[in-house]
């Protein structure tokens, strides 16, 4: 079925029930959400947007933007959100690649234009394999690729998460995430919609509104930065978190130190999960059961996961299942490269090669070491940055570290660390050598005030490699 049908079928029977709880104390009901989505669907159709057409959306976060998302699904078009931080030059690439039928820069204005229209009630039938959304990978290197997510893939993932995380109509979701990415758009919204639950709706993360929102919520979804900011605020106490059912974290690795500090402060363990644009959520720590620091938990029901270890313990994660994307938009060669040959992706038999390196322990838990492209080969030895980062992050004075490989005349590559914190290069190198083999220990340490990150908080190691590329090159 059309994903819209699934989501709307779970809206509260009483459509006057709130969907968006606004910071000013107001609310927008599920009935208004449905009505405005219908009006926007009518407007899109009048604008000539048809089945399979792309609707590119680069707009501020708002309830109207969510209504536009539902309207796009309803008419069978393809929702294509863009990061609001993209420049005009960057947007030009996406427009050329997606060839949209419509570009929306102001969802609020578009909703106002649709206000007097008769809402479209019919839902365009769609099959599981029909395209619902085109998500351009935020990525840390290279040209952005459009991940083709189908109605069936999004529905399968939404239902798996709704069950895994125990959502009910009694929940209230604190939503402070952006909605141009799968985390805020699909993971958060779909869990709320499938429960008919309200959301405390915030434009962005800010300490004051988030702390106030926690008092009205039962579930929070966030990126690691949300949780480190909460911990830095003395107003976040065990009492302020006591009524919360679960704190969920993803989109970037959660430091084990943050996990432990949060548990000590709030009396709860953060539920970390692992996902990517191409498959939404892949693994999750359990709602009921042991949540382990550093692990991203177990594969979701329906997700088949294997690791190409090449005979070792660690290797590249490969996945298949109903929530895996259909391929990269207009990149058949790239798509073919990213799926294994033991069943091509069109038949749903091939495994998608995630590019993430990790291992699976005897209990089935998954542990991510980093991206395959970040692997460092020093003097012929494989070095996984995550292992070194875990050591460095435990050192006194180190707030966060990012480990990279840089060209070296003798070793091919040598390990370097970029650190937020205090201390001396010599002391950190010496401390690392006490706990790591010599080829793994950093040979250089650079101190910075902040690390470059993409829209979802992932450290852009490619930029660090560019910045420090000549560190080991003789003058």
- For residue 456, the model assigns a pLDDT of 73
Residue ranges of the chain with per-residue pLDDT less than 70: 138-142, 343-348, 475
CA distance 90 to 442: 35
Contact 131, 52 (CB under 8 A): yes
Whole-number Å distance between alpha carbons of 362 and 35: 50
DSSP letter for 85, please: T
Q: Is the CB of residue 359 less than 8 Å from the CB of residue 369?
A: yes
Tokens 């959304």 belong to 133
Q: What is the pLDDT of residues 55-75, one digit of tens each?
A: 999 999 999 999 999 999 999
> How many C-alpha atoms does 296 have within 13 Å on its Cβ side?
26
How much is the pLDDT for 346? 46
Distance of CA 400 to the CA centre of its chain: 20
- Chain segment 80-104, per-residue pLDDT in tens: 999 888 888 889 999 999 999 999 9
Give strand ranges (E) for 64-172. Answer: 78-81, 102-104, 131-136, 146-150
Distance CA 337, CA 339 (A): 6
Bridge partners of 381? 378
Candidates 321, 334, 224, 329; CA nearest to 282 is 321
pLDDT at residue number 140: 44
339 DSSP 8-state letter: B
Could you tell me how many residues make up the chain? 475
Task: Tell me the two tokens of residue 428.
Answer: 């950190």
- Hey, what CATH topology would domain 375-467 get? GMP Synthetase; Chain A, domain 3 (3.30.300)
To the nearest 10°, the Cα dihedral for 234, 236, 237, 240? 150
**Sequence-distant (≥ 6) Cβ neighbours of residue 56 within 8 angstroms:** 80, 81, 82, 94, 95, 98, 100, 102, 103, 104
Pick the closest to residue 1 from 126, 88, 101 (CA basis). Answer: 126
Domain parsing of the chain, residue ranges: 3-284, 375-467
| Residue 181 burial by Cβ neighbours in a 10 Å radius (0-12, 13-18, 19+) | buried
CB atoms within 10 A of CB 239: 9
Superfamily of domain 3-284: ANL, N-terminal domain (3.40.50.12780)
SS3 108: helix
Alpha-carbon separation of residue 442 from 434, 435, 471 (angstroms): 12, 12, 12
- Looking at residue 345, what is its pLDDT? 47
Q: Which helix (H) or strand (E) holds 43?
A: helix 30-46
- Residue 443 DSSP one-character state: S
Q: How far is CA 90 from CA 93, 153, 306, in A?
A: 6, 28, 36
Neighbour count for residue 141 (Cβ, 10 Å): 12
d(CA 279, CA 127): 18
The pLDDT assigned to 141 comes to 46
State residue 448's pLDDT score.
Answer: 97
Residue with tokens 């950190």: 428
């Amino acid at each position: 079925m059309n994903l819209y049908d699934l989501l709307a079928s779970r809206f509260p029977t009483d459509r006057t029930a709130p969907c968006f709880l606004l910071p000013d104390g107001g609310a927008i009901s599920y009935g208004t959400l449905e009505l405005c989505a219908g009006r926007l669907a009518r407007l899109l159709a009048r604008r000539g947007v048809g089945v399979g057409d792309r609707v590119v959306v680069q707009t501020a976060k708002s309830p109207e933007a969510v209504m536009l998302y539902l309207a796009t699904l309803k008419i069978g078009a393809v929702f294509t959100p863009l990061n609001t931080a993209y420049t005009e030059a960057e947007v030009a690439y996406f427009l050329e690649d997606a060839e949209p039928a419509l570009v929306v820069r102001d969802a609020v204005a578009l909703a106002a234009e649709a206000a007097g229209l008769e809402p479209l009630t019919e839902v365009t039938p769609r099959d599981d394999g029909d395209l619902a959304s085109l998500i351009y990978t935020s990525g840390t290197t290279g040209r952005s690729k459009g991940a083709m997510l189908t109605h069936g893939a999004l529905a399968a993932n939404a239902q798996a998460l709704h069950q895994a995380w125990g959502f009910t109509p009694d929940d209230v979701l604190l939503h402070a995430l952006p909605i141009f990415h799968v985390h805020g758009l699909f993971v958060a919204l779909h869990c709320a919609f499938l429960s008919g639950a309200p959301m405390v709706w915030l434009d962005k993360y800010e300490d004051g509104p988030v702390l106030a929102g926690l008092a009205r919520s039962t579930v929070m979804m966030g990126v690691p930065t949300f949780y480190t900011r909460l911990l830095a605020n003395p107003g976040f106490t065990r009492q302020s978190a006591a009524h919360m059912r679960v704190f969920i974290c993803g989109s970037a690795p959660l430091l084990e130190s943050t996990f432990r500090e949060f548990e000590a402060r709030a009396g709860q363990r953060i539920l970390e999960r692992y996902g990517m644009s191409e498959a939404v959520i892949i693994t999750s720590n359990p709602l009921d059961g042991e949540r382990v620091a550093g692990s991203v938990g177990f594969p979701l029901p329906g997700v088949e996961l294997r690791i190409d270890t090449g005979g070792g313990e660690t290797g590249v994660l490969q996945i298949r299942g109903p929530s895996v994307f259909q391929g990269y938009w207009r990149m058949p060669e790239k798509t073919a490269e990213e799926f294994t040959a033991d069943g091509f992706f069109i038949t749903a038999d091939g495994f998608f090669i995630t590019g993430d390196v990790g291992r699976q322990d005897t209990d089935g838990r998954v542990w991510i070491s980093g991206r395959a492209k970040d692997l460092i080969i020093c003097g012929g030895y494989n070095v996984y940055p995550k292992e070194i980062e875990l050591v460095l992050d435990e050192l006194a004075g180190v707030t966060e570290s990012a480990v990279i490989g840089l060209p070296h005349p003798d070793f091919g590559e040598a390990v370097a660390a970029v650190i937020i914190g205090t201390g001396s290069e010599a002391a950190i190198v010496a401390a690392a050598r006490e706990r790591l083999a010599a080829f793994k220990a950093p040979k250089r340490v650079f101190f910075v005030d902040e690390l470059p990150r993409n829209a979802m908080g992932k450290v852009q190691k490619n930029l660090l490699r560019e910045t420090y590329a000549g560190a080991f090159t003789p003058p």
